[in-house]
Amino acid sequence: MIRETYFKSLSHFELSTGSQALISCLPLMEAIGSSPLRTLCFWFRYAFSVLSIHRLFQTINSNTPWLISLQALTLSTFEIAISIPLSTFELLFNFHELRTVRLSDLSITLNNEFIGRIVDARLEEFELDGSGLYDISLDCLEEFATRCPNLSFLQLSVNATDVPPIRPSPPRHCTAGLTMRLVILSESMITNSGGVASYLLSLFPELTVSYVGSGWDEHIKRWGEVVRIVSLARSKTDCPS
């Protein structure tokens, strides 16, 4: 039997659901599989099972047209405590044209190894938000600078207590000459403001940095100093000789 298809011109699909409704949506996901989908958003606001989410991601991954049409992916698991296995989550990163990735409140351990596996040369925006299990160190940013020459926006929490050595040759982002905006989220630890600022500028010469947080502890103060140093460096570069 030939599967009937619907919404053949659909370019945006957004789903906010729980476990039972999610299973009910799978036939719909299959029915729109031939559409040239460009943006896909999932907002999981209620309890769901690991099996249901795995089946959903398998369905998405099996829609061959999406592998070459999808450009933006948003995934949020707000107020959900269940952990998504890494093997399941990685099913979402087989898309060949993915340019924008937004991940929020994921109950999954995101570390340098995972970032290295999902970062792609076409990536332009990567946004990590919320209270997930994040263990990302400063040298992970080199993955973005080296492999993503078109990157213009990066938001994440990072552990900057150890500053890596500055590489002898510039990464691809340096040669691309693009402006890059970096947003550092609260709870990002740091010890050496000057060293961090120099390292960031070695990766992204056309950089602007902002810090999102509240309060007044030493980490916030040091990130504020990073913002000041980077801004000063940019102003000197922008001034005509």
Q: Measured between alpha carbons, how far is 27 from 114 in angstroms, rounded to an integer?
A: 30
User: Does the pLDDT of residue 153 top 90, yes or no?
Assistant: yes
Q: What pLDDT is attached to residue 198? A: 95
Greatest mean pLDDT among 112-116, 172-176, 228-232, 234-238 lies in 228-232
pLDDT tens-digit map of 184-237: 987 789 999 999 999 999 999 899 999 987 666 888 999 999 999 999 988 876
Provide the edge-to-edge strand list for the sheet that holds 153-156: 12-17, 39-44, 72-76, 100-104, 125-129, 153-156, 180-185, 207-212
Using the structure block, give the residue that is written with the tokens 């998504």.
Answer: 84
pLDDT of residue 87: 75
Residue 164 per-residue DSSP state? P
- The model carries a pTM of 0.83
Where is pLDDT greater, at 237 or 96?
Answer: 96
In the chain, domain spans:
9-98, 108-241
Task: Read off the pLDDT of residues 44-76 as tens digits, 9 standing for 90 and up.
Answer: 766 566 777 778 788 888 877 888 888 998 888
